[in-house]
Amino acid sequence: MKLNSWPFSPLFTSLKHLSRSIHTMASSISETLTLTLPAGSPQDLNLDEHLCSEQQEHQDCQSSSADWPSRCLTGESRIERAWAHWKKLGQPKLIVAPMVDNSELPFRMLCRKYGAQAAYTPMLHSRIFSENEKYRSQEFTTCKEDRPLFVQFCANDPDTLLEAAQRVEPYCDYVDINLGCPQRIARRGNYGAFLMDNLPLVKSLVEKLALNLHVPVSCKIRVFPNLQDTINYARMLEDAGCSLLAVHGRTRDEKDGRKFRADWNAIKAVKNAVNIPVLANGDIRHMDDVQRCLEETGADGVLSAETLLENPALFAGFQTAEWALGGEEGNKDGELDQANLLVEYLKLCEKYPVPWRMIRSHVHKLLGEWFRIQPQVRDDLNSQSKLTFEFLYNMVDQLRELGVRIPLYTKDTPAGRTSNGIAT
């Protein structure tokens, strides 16, 4: 006799209700126990779509394509899902690159005001992030308006990386793996571009996240000296579960961006070789570069780093004098300068506090040319062991009183600045 037939149906119905109640309670308890909010993170973000109970894990093969762990997806399904996610975000083309100590929340928000359509956090150290609450609360902050957002980690251990990534996945649109840092500290720590010497480890890092996170995994890489090695590398990352690839068109040894031009042809080759979205990084100094890079590489977006530090309004069509006055086309005073941008940045820092070392760095980047005209103001800044907002606002006023002003320029055309961040 079947259990759901009379006379067992009342008992079966009661058991079903009891089962549902227990499942609901278990799910609630599981969410409460597993959700760890980083100190200082917003409490009012919508987390429901990102969380699932442990009971869901064995149902992944029956889940819809919107659920990110990809244990049972075919390669074609992963590609479709990667593009669906990218399109859901609006396919941003103008993106703030990850910069250690420099792409923090106030700076990201400043860049977003001036045309940036997405942004990366600074590189976060996965082990320290997992172990140290103070590090988490100081180094990673965000807000509801800070989207789309890539949170970037360096790592060389899959389990440690996953632990760190699970702490941030409710607050971001991609968890990014730094595979491109070429600095000595990355060599000593065995991460970044120095993992190019250990591709099985790289593959395991990507697979670990792709199989366990509920947001997609992205990777930021540098190119190999040999183009075919670069193409093979990109395809391996895609096969491992990478949903978006950012390619810096320089090798690990080409650290000086002014000395070595980015190889856009290599980026184009990667774009043609893989099926996931590809972002181009390298030599994006003004909007003409953006346009040319998108056309020459076929990339789905561009990243800018160093130039944004001097000119956070780059994506709104503003240029520094270095590029505006050296160009062939006419340019005009854009009625905006770096001191204006610094004041805006400082106000954002008052709203979204960050360590003072980050603020000090941005002051020097934004006003570097101004300090060359009035070096005593820079010396006064450097003599301050402890900064205050009052001191920095007064410093800007002092430069104004000394007659210093270096404008940012826009094209002297009927269209003026860019439309939607991209020249038309």
Which residues are catalytically annotated?
181
Bridge partner list, 248: 222, 281
Beta strands in 250-318 (DSSP E): 278-281, 301-304
- In angstroms, the CA 323 to CA 62 distance is 54
CA dist 223 and 282 (Å) reads: 12
In contact, 145 and 108? CB cutoff 8 Å: no
Q: How far apart are CA 221 and CA 323, in angstroms?
A: 27
| 3-class state of residue 37 by DSSP | coil
Judge if the upstream peptide bond of residue 148 is cis by omega within 30 degrees of 0.
yes
Are the C-beta atoms of 221 and 247 separated by less than 8 Å?
Answer: yes
Q: Distance between CA 162 and CA 175 in Å, rounded?
A: 10
Residue listed under structure tokens 């869901």? 56
**Burial label, 6 (beta-carbon count in 10 A; 0-12, 13-18, 19+):** exposed
3 state SS of 354: coil
Q: Which residues pair with 411 in a beta bridge?
A: 331
Enter the tokens of residue 289.
Answer: 């570069």
What are the start-end ranges of the E strands in 29-85? none
The CA distance from 165 to 121, in Å, is: 13
Helix (H, G, I), strand (E, B) or coil at 350: helix
